[in-house]
A and B are shown apart, each in its own frame.
Chain A
Amino acid sequence: MELYDKIIQMMQEGEEEEVVALVKECLSEGRDVQEIINKGLIAAMDIIGKKFRKGEMFFPEVMLSATCMHAGMKILRPYFNASNKKQSAKFIIGTVAEDVHDIGKNLVAMNLGAAGFEVIDLGTDVSPEKFVQAVKEHNPKILGMSALLTTTMPHMKETIMAIDSAGLRKKNKKLKIMVGGAPVDQEFADEIGADFYGNDAMEAVTIAKSIVTRKGK
């Protein structure tokens, strides 16, 4: 079996040590780092994402695959050159004010990292002011917000209003705002003026990827 096929298989099975060994084998054969990432690690995550959406893989299994992805990336990072670094889009993520639930937010962050995003995680109980400040500082492609409680959902709207009154979406036309979390749905996202809604941690990644690959918008 081709080494990349083996990586893809071992990632699906969540065998971290195997994935690390295979990535090292690729390096020792002198393969291109970007090729290892694209044809091995990212190709695997794509397949895994599709299987998850079809109900053929379960969420904890996907998370285990993402762990393998991180382990593989860790081996490859020292070999990155300038062109590799340029590729990753920034994604700011955080749980909104007064909400300390971070499991879902962390899963999204981890999957985004596995998909090649540079994730800036602001943690939990993030006030609108903190979000605004972070956007100014990092100038990300995407800002993602999470809320678990129906009582903290309104802070998403407040944050969006704060972003807009600071003129950040106007100034940076590429900045998109994404929301998610158990009680959030598309209707709510539309109502508060968010650009995108992700139903789960896998969909969040699919949407984020489609945002950065979209040209000119």
Chain B
Amino acid sequence: MVGNKFNPLSEEEIELIHSYSLKVLEEVGIKVKDCSAYEVFKKNKAITNGDLVKIPRSMVLDALESTPSKVVLYGRQQRHTLELKGREVHLGTGGAALNVIDLDSKEPRKATLRDIMLLAKLVENLEYVDFYIRPVVAQDVPKEELDINKYYASMLGTTKHVMGSVYSIKSFHQVKKLASIIAGSLESLKKRPFISFITCWMRSPLALDPQATEIMMEIVKERLPVVLSSAPMAGSTAPITLGGCLVQIHAEILSGLVLSQLVNPGTPVIYGYVPSVANPISMDYLGGSAEFGLLNAGAVQLAAHFGLPNYSSAGLTDSKIPDAQAGIEKALSILQVAMAGGNYIHHAAGMLESMLTVSYAQYVIDNDMLGMVSRILKGIEINDNSLAFDVISKVGPGGNYISEKHTAKNLRKEYFFPKVMDRDLRKEWTAKGSQDLWQKANNRVKAILSSDQLPKIPEGVDFQIRKTFNILIKDIK
């Protein structure tokens, strides 16, 4: 699926933003404190002064040369392969939400490890969700056990690509080992990485998070795919103007580009542009604003211009329930960023209350929306068959197309058919119990979760993993 249908910035504007970003790196610099990245920058001709590192543009240009313009992420099935390049679009989950809207009570409750597995199982069955970032923080698991367990719970539920963060270098190596056992060896994991990592290495504005940066550098040394995520908020941790926010985030990303390419030239890095907006009343996150989508679309355009495989955000809403506000905010941001060609758009399904809550039903609803977005990106096909002169002439004036072979044969490929959006006549809708979208989506969730599915991890491998790690999920149904 290719975007490149929405370009909020002109070529000249992109160059102008880029030149200001370079100026920020050269003249303002980034803060690097208590972190071995400082030595890496210093050794490679960056200008250091106290905690500040100023990066000359020549270093940026070198790094732009060496970073791969394509990163391939794999699933544990061939069809889940994702190529992150150009304006290729992939949409999936995201978040580190604390709460889940309960299926039965429809009220929020604390998220658990089991939710990570069940949401993965749900996503495995949602046709338009391409990858799985663990969407919630399991609050029933101690921190030391969390990383290994959340990755494993995810892989118990889905064979799609799994991405997450790790809280220490130690747990990175554990997760790497876990995935190596599943892959057969570390070499085969590196050949077809079906897991990857997110590091929030940037603490905007323009300061490195020492611990996350150490983890990021370790992953880069191992040459496993990693997202360098920067998420400034316009109005609090970035200028309130959208242009200024893009100047800053692009500078931040370029500093990460330089660092990753100094640590291990040619390593597959995904550039995480996640610009956001602060609520000027509470100074909280405003995920559902029109500007959020616009900023991410602009950021994706910037990344694509410089050939950087990118990670961005769309699909957040500030609504608390799957309602009309959620639908409007999600659709507008996802459409903007997908039409701009975001390579790896996370938060695209399931999120509510910005990033605080997820809802099982919302994943199913959003899946339909992502299907519609995919259809829009496919565009209008023009060829002899689609222009349909033969059937126009066969049917002739006053006829109809209902029973024509051309109609039946083209219907499925030309149209997208949502699973839960209501298209019944009122009498049918009433006969089925006058259910709203939320209820219909809940029904689909229950049907998926109660269906028997093949175990995602072979028995012998599962046994070996449970012998090696303290796996807390015992019941995989």
Contact = CB atoms under 8 A, between A and B. Distances in A.
A60 B403 CA distance: 5
Interface string B362-401: 0000000000000000000000000000000000000011
A61 interface: yes
A63 interface: yes
Contacts of A59: 402
Contacts, number: 37
A103 interface: yes
Nearest to B408: A64
A60 B404 CA distance: 7
Interface string A140-151: 000000000000
A203 B179 CA distance: 53
B324 interface: no
A110 B408 contact: no
A198 interface: no
B408 A60 contact: yes
B411 A107 contact: no
Which among B403, B405, B412 has the highest number of chain A CB atoms within 10 Å? B403
Nearest to A186: B427
B403 A14 contact: no
A66 B408 CA distance: 12
A58 interface: yes
Interface string B404-443: 1101110110000000000000011000000000000000
A190 interface: no
A61 B411 contact: yes
Interface in A1-22: 14, 16
A16 B408 CA distance: 13
Nearest to A67: B403
Interface string B258-287: 000000000000000000000000000000
Contact of B403 (A110, A185, A186, A199): A110
A163 to B, nearest CB: 26
A199 B429 CA distance: 13
B426 to A, nearest CB: 10
A193 B48 CA distance: 93
Nearest to B409: A14
B402 A63 contact: yes
Contact of B400 (A64, A103, A110, A199): A103
Given A14-B408, A60-B411, A64-B408, A107 B403 contact: yes
Q: How large is the interface on B (under 10, 10 to 19, 20 to 34, 35 or more residues)?
A: 10 to 19
Contacts of B411: 58, 60-61
Contact of A64 (B403, B412, B427, B428): B403
B300 to A, nearest CB: 36
Nearest to B404: A60
- What is the interface of chain A mostly: helix, strand, loop, or mixed? helix
Nearest to A102: B400
A186 B427 CA distance: 10
Contacts of B408: 14, 58, 60-61, 63-64
A110 B400 CA distance: 14
Contacts of B407: 60, 64
B368 to A, nearest CB: 14
B409 A107 contact: no
Nearest to B428: A199
A185 B405 contact: no
Contacts of A58: 408, 411-412
B402 A107 contact: yes
Contacts of B403: 60, 63-64, 66-67, 107, 110
Contacts of B401: 60
B447 to A, nearest CB: 14
Contacts of A66: 403
Interface string A37-76: 0000000000000000000001111011011000000000
Contacts of A63: 402-403, 408
B409 to A, nearest CB: 7
Given A14-B409, A58-B411, A60-B411, A185 B427 contact: yes
Interface in A98-125: 103, 107, 110
A64 B400 CA distance: 13
Interface string B456-467: 000000000000
A14 B405 contact: yes
B440 to A, nearest CB: 13
A50 B210 CA distance: 62
A136 B474 CA distance: 74
B213 to A, nearest CB: 52
A67 B403 CA distance: 8
Nearest to B410: A60
A63 B402 CA distance: 8
A72 to B, nearest CB: 16
A14 B401 CA distance: 15
A199 B430 CA distance: 14
A11 to B, nearest CB: 12
Contacts of B409: 14, 64
Given A58-B411, A60-B411, A61-B411, A103 B402 contact: yes
Contacts of A110: 403
A66 B405 CA distance: 11
Interface in B326-369: none
Nearest to A59: B402
A14 B408 CA distance: 8
Interface of A: 14, 16, 58-61, 63-64, 66-67, 103, 107, 110, 185-186, 199
21 contacts: A14-B409, A58-B408, A58-B411, A58-B412, A59-B402, A60-B401, A60-B402, A60-B411, A61-B408, A61-B411, A63-B402, A63-B408, A64-B403, A64-B405, A64-B407, A64-B408, A64-B409, A103-B400, A107-B402, A107-B403, A110-B403
Given A60-B403, A103-B402, 7 more contacts: A16-B405, A58-B412, A60-B402, A63-B402, A64-B403, A186-B427, A199-B428
The 9 closest A-B CB pairs, nearest first, are A64-B408, A63-B403, A60-B407, A60-B408, A61-B408, A103-B400, A14-B408, A58-B411, A60-B402
